[in-house]
Structure 1
């Protein structure tokens, strides 16, 4: 049995994104899709003493958003230093700040041309820290069929999938019969039921970037997740 998920890349995604990666055998970053403004592709939330705050990577947007995520270039390279300073200012008191900084800070010192490069680099590094061994591919590693459901199903076929794991939002448009015709089952991922973990700055918030969990929990982060297994000591 081969389980596959196909999702657009996000900037420092929340814990559920990494649980989905951990729940499958192959994870395809679907960055041939159109870039969407004010979405998770180039921004995410962290916690601060004043509440949640967006960290946004500035990107170049051409025309009426006809470009793909893959084609979306970085506008201002100074974003990385600004983001790292913001993370330091808000998480320096977190129990595992020093340990996790050693993993994340080098990423903010690298050069990136586009948002897909940023996202994949951060996602792979965080997966490695969490011990997630899922193979990650780009959508352009495959040929792309026409049609929303048809393209996803054909990507699964090319990846040798027996099961496609989808986020619940796709229920509105996904045609499961297209997958069934290829002998591929569809399962819906459940993002509910997460436990809390020790978190700075007031009332607990689930939907923030994974960096919040990492700074606060370090190697214990899998205890607040559902599919990530804690690495042996």
Structure 2
């Protein structure tokens, strides 16, 4: 009789830019479930991210993308829509650059964010590459 392998499952609501703790949780899990059939919450990380100053993590600025909620407060995460995709793509490119260009890791972050910004902007050639 073979031993059963213990499996772990991570369940998380989508975030605009997941925090490192979220990425670590997803990396460590055998199964990853995207919980997008719950209410969109405006004061959460679903459409915004906190960008900390490199040498002072207590100082930060919000990177937010405007959303349209077709069903008002009852809108599920999966039904939320970007209100202005081109503007959101610009913000995804500009604000992280302003905050982190001086970091030795900027090029890695920029390389990861570039296809995301193109997808958000609606560039169909890059869909599915994020």
TM-score category (smaller protein): 0.7 to 0.9
1:107 is the counterpart of 2:110: no
Instruction: Determine which of 30, 39, 48 is the counterpart of 1:34.
Output: 39
Matches of 1:41 and 1:99, distance apart in 2: 23
1:89 CA drift (Å): 1.4
> What's the counterpart of residue 20 of structure 2?
15
Instruction: Determine which of 61, 67, 83 is the counterpart of 1:75.
Output: 83
1:112 CA drift (Å): 6.1
> What's the counterpart of residue 89 of structure 1?
98
Give the structure with higher Rg (CA). Answer: 1
- Show structure 1 runs of 5+ residues with no match: 114-120, 126-233
1:111 CA drift (Å): 3.7
User: How many residues are aligned here?
Assistant: 116
Provide the secondary structure at the position in 2 that maps to 1:5. Answer: strand
1:96 CA drift (Å): 2.0
Provide the secondary structure at the position in 1 that maps to 2:104. Answer: coil
1:63 CA drift (Å): 4.8
Instruction: Determine which of 5, 27, 30 is the counterpart of 2:10.
Output: 5
1:83 CA drift (Å): 2.6
Distance 1:85 1:110, change over 3 A: same
How does 1:93-172 map onto structure 2 within 5 Å?
A: 93-111=102-120, 125=130
1:27 CA drift (Å): 0.7
Instruction: Determine which of 60, 63, 74 is the counterpart of 2:68.
Output: 60
| Structure with the bigger percentage of strand | 2
Verify the 8 A CA contact 1:74 1:112 in the aligned structure 2. no
Give the number of the structure with larger relative contact order, counting CA–CA contacts within 8 Å between residues 6 or more apart. 1
